[in-house]
Amino acid sequence: MTRNSILIAVSMLGAGLAFKATADDRHHPQTEAAPVAAAASTAALTEGEVRKIDKAAGKVTIKHGPMPKFDMPAMTMVYRAKDKAMLDQLKPGDKIKFDADGVGGEFTVLRLEKVK
């Protein structure tokens, strides 16, 4: 379900971009890279489920879907929270979407939102 919805979102973006590129091409051929970057950041949000929270350590265990950015398959792993306050609103079992990156050698959640 995760993979399919990402694929659908990406192909919809692709269709939109193709249309835009065609319309703008003659005047601004050098701007093509900008929409691609926007698409990448949209696709970077990964779906996951909170398994465990360690507020004292600022860590959260997330069962997440595939993360193409890290060439990572679906798995359960521990992330550091960029900001410990991010963990206040979470409890085990919550469904989330999040963005993560390697910060100081640790996988770190930069941003997350609960999925209703």
Q: Give the count of beta carbons closer than 10 Å to the beta carbon of residue 67.
A: 18
* Shortest-Cβ-distance residue relative to Cu ion: 77
Closest distance to Cu ion from the beta carbon of 7 (Å)? 20
> Exposure string (b/e) for 71-103, b if CB count within 10 Å is 16 or more?
eeeeeeeebbbbeeebbeebeeebebbbbbeee
In the bound complex, what is the minimum distance in angstroms from residue 2's beta carbon to Cu ion?
Answer: 13
Which of 19/70 has CB closer to Cu ion? 70
- Residue 115's Cβ-count burial label (10 Å; 0-12, 13-18, 19+) is exposed
Report the site for Cu ion in 17-56 (rule: CB under 5 A): none
User: What minimum distance in Å lies between the beta carbon of 66 and Cu ion?
Assistant: 9
State in angstroms the smallest separation of the CB of 102 from Cu ion. 12
- Considering only residues 73 to 102 of the shown chain, the ones binding Cu ion according to CB under 5 A are 75, 77
When the beta carbons of 20 and 95 are compared against Cu ion, the nearer one is 95
Candidate residues 72, 86, 90, 110; the one interacting with Cu ion per rule CB under 5 A: 72
The answer to whether 70 and 89 are in contact (CB under 8 A) is no
Q: Strand pairing partners for 109?
A: 81, 100
- Interacting residues toward Cu ion by CB under 5 A: 72, 75, 77
